[in-house]
Structure formats: structure tokens, C-alpha cells
Chains A and B, each alone.
Chain A
């Protein structure tokens, strides 16, 4: 993409930022619903592209269409995840989970850490595109957590596994778009910066649950899990980046069992009187309440999901056979008045439907539906609640449609900003005014911006990593360090990415309250960006 003719001045930079400002103000400040805010953000991006960045109509159409295609990758997770949610919900599975988890551990903080942080991270190790959020949020709601926290906690907790998660997709994509002298060193540096997200994420999850008394109670387990996840990721990144998140996430999951036997976490925590994350009306476990199914059966869909995903992705012949079918659409070359070119392609961003996490979710939901139906759980649960045992598909539709429209809107906005050159103006503008060390400090923020717009750390890196590498070279900075900062920022930005938030809100039953979730995750995001910026500068200074 040729960006040399783009205007890099304050007015152009401000106008390039306008769509993001409009989106944030409508969603977070004015509390518009996500479909409404996304649509206005998209039209703002289109108007700025057309009027300021000389983007012709055909380029606007092509950019918008590519945005819809990008959104399909996320929608392919949303729809089956919501189907799975409806299947489990209609069978009383979440009631069984709530009761089973309460029997498994009497220590609520430990359960929040286990489900909200460790299990979420494990799911991210194998399945991306927001799967951990849609899987864990309803389980946390069932456990008695307020829905806004039930979404914010897994979002923050799984960020550390974004870059190397889903068996290294984000990192491998980064290596496709930048040429690094020492990729292993860059992977290690990225994992080093991500330690901040692990430790800060763990402490934040516990603080959100029960403020400082909870942190005082749980700090040993937070540090142990952080060492396993953060330290483990750094070590594995040196040898096998594709497994750098999966292996430590699995080890942390296994470590939960011995940790749960520790007397400190085997009994209920004392002195945690304020629990803002938990519902006031939370129904405590009654001795005479019989759950509709056992804990293993309630966890069946998640066990299936894990087995299917691991089976497909790690057994190479199966993976290769299923990867053969790919879907993609052709697009012509489009050029703006400022000479920003996007090349023609015969198959834009091919989608392999059978190895996409959505396929694993469909399979898990289908098998669960059959098993639960055969065991009569739907009828039993409906009889207990005096409801008619219908509505799984209708419920899925009612949740999925309102979630799908804003996700398409966000991704269209991102592609419009990309094809018109607005993203480049934003990054080049920061670089133009910032001295070298200030640019190093802000480089992870550029990555976070990319993830905020695209709801994907992979897309952020594909979008900005080549530009960041060029800017690092021009500023005389270590390209390895700046790419590491971009990668770390690309993960952080997901914490407030609107599409992720919409995903979680839809399965937590709070569609329309996306702004409330972003408000919970925003302080963590800002502090994580600042800490990562400081660490980046330290890495530059220390060489």
C-alpha cells in the first residue's frame, strides 16, 4: 500500500480519529445500543473517507464488503456459541453448573479465578474469535455474578493469550507481514511484555470480585498462576511459539487441583464483605435442591469443544483434510485520490469453515443437543419451570441478530478506515510529532487502537506491524522491540473492542449494555497500555 501522498497534518489526523471518537462517545458516554453506535461510526468513517481522504464510491463499496467478510469470521462463532448457550440453558445446564461448582469449592474467590481467569485462558489457547468470552460469561452468570462483570472479567483475563493463543495464529500472521532478523527474539520480547497483562489481569479479576480484601486473600494463587502463564509463555515462545499460550494455559488449569486442596482456598474466604461482582439476589445452594444433571454432564459441551478443537488442530492429517475447503470472494484493485492502493485479489481472506472455531462449536452444540434430548433434560427442566420445551432456535435467533449487526458495523468501519488511509494517517501522525522514546512508549497504543477497531489482535498486527517496523527503523529504534510492543498492544486493545463486548453481552443476556462493560474494562486497558509503554521504553534503553 502506497501511503506517501497522504496528508499528515493536525486537521487530517483529527478527522481520521473522528469515527473512533464518535463510536466511543455514542457507546460509552451516551449509552446508545451497539447497533446504533456502530452504524453511526461506520457512516462517519465513510463520510470522512469520501470527503477528506478522496475515497471513490467503488473503493467505499469494496472496503465495506471486505468488512462484512471479516465480520463473518466472528459471526461464525457468535451464532453457534449462542446456539450452544440456548441448548445448555433449556436443559437446565447452567443451574447444574452453578450447583456443581459450588459443591466443588466453597471458596468463591478461587472459583472466580478458576473459571474467569484460568479456564478462559485455556479456551483461548485453542479457540479464538471471542470463543472464551461467549463460553465463560454465561457460566459466571449462572454462578451468581452480575452480567456486566461476567463479561468484563473473562475479557480482561484472556487477553494475555491473544497473541500466541488459537495455536499461535496471531504470531504466525505477524511473521507473514514483517521480516524480522530474529523472530525468536521478537517472540520472547512479546511474551515478556505480555507478562504485564498476565499479572495485572489476575490481580484485576480478583479486585473486581471483592476489592482489596479479596486480593489480600488470593495473592499467592494469583502469583503462582501468573508465573505459570506468563513465565511459561516466555519459555515456550523460545521453542514453539504456536504452543506458547496453550501449554502454560493447560498447566495452569491442571495446577488448579492441587491449589484447591490448599487449606487457604479449600474453605470460604473470611473478611470479604464487599463483593461488587456478585448479585445481591444470588440464591445460595439449598440442600434439598436437586440439580437437573450432574456436573460432568453440565460440562459436557465444554469437554466436547476442547476435545474436538484439540483433535482437529493437533492431528495434522485431519487438519490438512479439513483445511482443503476454503471460501473466499474476489475483489478488484481500488485506489483513493491520495494514491492509497489496495491490490486486487482472487480470494480475499479465505475462510476454512471446517477448522474454524465456529465448526467446533456447532459440533459441540449438536452433540450436546442430542445427548440432553435423549436423557430427557429439556422436558424435565421445562416441567420444573412450568415452561413449554421449545424455543432453542428462536432464542438463538433473538440473541444472534442484535449481536450480528453491530459486529458487521464495527468491521466495516475498520475496513473503511484502512482502505481510505485513515489508519496510516493516525500512526504516521503520532510518529511525526513524537520523539523516538515517546514513539516507543506509544507504539503499543497503536497496536491497541488497531485491535479496538478490528476486535482482533491478529488484524491489528496485520494492519500496523509493517508500518510500526518502518517507523522503528526511521526512529533508530529496535525493530524487534517495537514489533513486540505492537503485538502486546494488539492484545490489550481487545479488552475494549466493541465486537468482543457485543459477543459477551449477547450470551450474558445484557444486549444493549455494551457501554457499561467497556466502562469496566477501560481503566484496565489504559493502565496496561501505560505499563507496557514504560516497559517498551525500558527495553529500548537497555537494548
Chain B
């Protein structure tokens, strides 16, 4: 997992997918009153958004001093 997160294209690809997947979930969930759907979408936003800064943190901690 850590190795995959160190591959820039892989981790940004996962981040992009999560951000895009959240869009219809939130639209449908919020419009049709299905809280579970938009909450899942919100979690996808949070995880997708966290990936780039977390990767920065991981690459800094894993790099030799």
C-alpha cells in the first residue's frame, strides 16, 4: 500500500476517482433525501482530498534524513 502511495500517478488517480465518484452520490443523495448516499460522497471527498497531503507526509517520513 505504501509502495503504491509512493507512485504519483497511482495515488493521484485514486484521489481523482474518489473526487469524481462523490459527485453523483451527493447530487442524488441530497436531492432525493438519501442521507447515506451523500454522506458516503462526503467521505469520498475527504479521503480523496487527503491523499495528496498524506502522500507528502509519507514520502517525507520515508525518505532518508
Q: Which residues of A lie under 8 Å from residue B56 when comparing CB positions?
A: 32-33, 36
B41 to chain A, nearest CB (A): 6
Q: Mark B38-49, 1 if CB is under 8 A from A, else 0.
A: 110110010001
> Quick check: is B4 within 8 A (CB to CB) of the other chain?
no
Interface size on A, residues (CB 8 A): 33
Q: Given that A58-B38, A61-B41 are contacting pairs, would A331 and B19 also be in contact in the complex, using a CB cutoff of 8 Å?
A: no
B42–A57 touching, CB < 8 Å: yes
Using known A-B contacts A35-B52, A329-B24, A402-B8, determine if residue A58 contacts B16 with beta carbons closer than 8 Å.
no
Identify which of A36, A397, A398, A401 contacts B53 (C-beta below 8 A).
A36
Q: Does A62 touch B at the CB level, under 8 Å?
A: yes
The residue on A at minimum CB distance from B10 is A401
Q: Are A330 and B31 in contact (CB under 8 A)?
A: yes
A457 interface residue, CB < 8 Å from B?
A: no
Cross-chain contact B26 with A62 (CB below 8 angstroms): yes
Instruction: Among A58, A68, A330, A334, find the residue whose CB has the most chain B CB atoms closer than 10 A.
Output: A68
Q: Which residue of B lies closest to A328 (CB)?
A: B27
Stretch from A39-47, A248-256, A492-500 contacting the other chain: A39-47
Chain B residues contacting A402 (CB-CB under 8 Å) are 8-9, 12
A405 with B19: CB separation less than 8 A: yes
B22 to chain A, nearest CB (A): 7
Interface presence of B36 (CB below 8 A): no
B38 touches A397 (CB 8 A): no
Which residues from chain A contact B39 at a C-beta distance below 8 Å? 57, 61
Partner pick for A405 among B23, B24, B38, B52, CB 8 A cutoff: B52
Q: Known contacts A32-B56, A35-B15, A404-B16: does B22 contact A68 (CB below 8 Å)?
A: yes
**7 additional contacts, CB 8 Å, given A64-B22, A330-B27?**
A33-B56, A43-B49, A64-B42, A65-B22, A65-B27, A68-B19, A331-B31
17 contacts between A and B (CB under 8 A): A36-B52, A36-B53, A39-B50, A42-B49, A57-B42, A61-B42, A65-B22, A68-B20, A329-B23, A329-B27, A330-B27, A330-B31, A334-B30, A344-B31, A408-B20, A409-B49, A412-B45
